[in-house]
Amino acid sequence: MANKIKILVESKDQCVNLPAIPLKVAYFTLKTGIWSMRFIPEQDRDPQLQQLAKHRDCLCAMLRTMIRDLKPMEPFRMIEVETETERVTIDLL
């Protein structure tokens, strides 16, 4: 069962290796970020933030469904992107 998500971003200049965090914690962190966008005044939002704020409820529902569907799966590498100078991996543990 996949219980945690681990993210690694490496580039020539720096490396971001986030520790494995439980899927529920990742969901609540993203949900809190999406929810808190309503406190940013509309005139200060760029067009992408406007779209995220407009579809806030749909995004939260999609995240909840995605985590529910990923939880029963065995651990696997969800994303692996590699270029000459950069590498990004997202693993479900």
Question: Whole-angstrom Cα distance, residue 6 to residue 91?
Answer: 5
Supply the pLDDT for residue 7: 94
Question: Whole-angstrom Cα distance, residue 32 to residue 16?
Answer: 22
Question: Whole-angstrom Cα distance, residue 53 to residue 18?
Answer: 26
Asked whether 4 and 19 are in contact (CB, 8 A), the reply is no
pLDDT tens for each residue of 14-65: 999 999 999 999 889 988 988 888 788 877 778 887 888 888 889 889 989 9
Supply the pLDDT for residue 74: 93
Supply the pLDDT for residue 15: 94
Between the two ends of the chain, the Cα-to-Cα distance in Å is 8
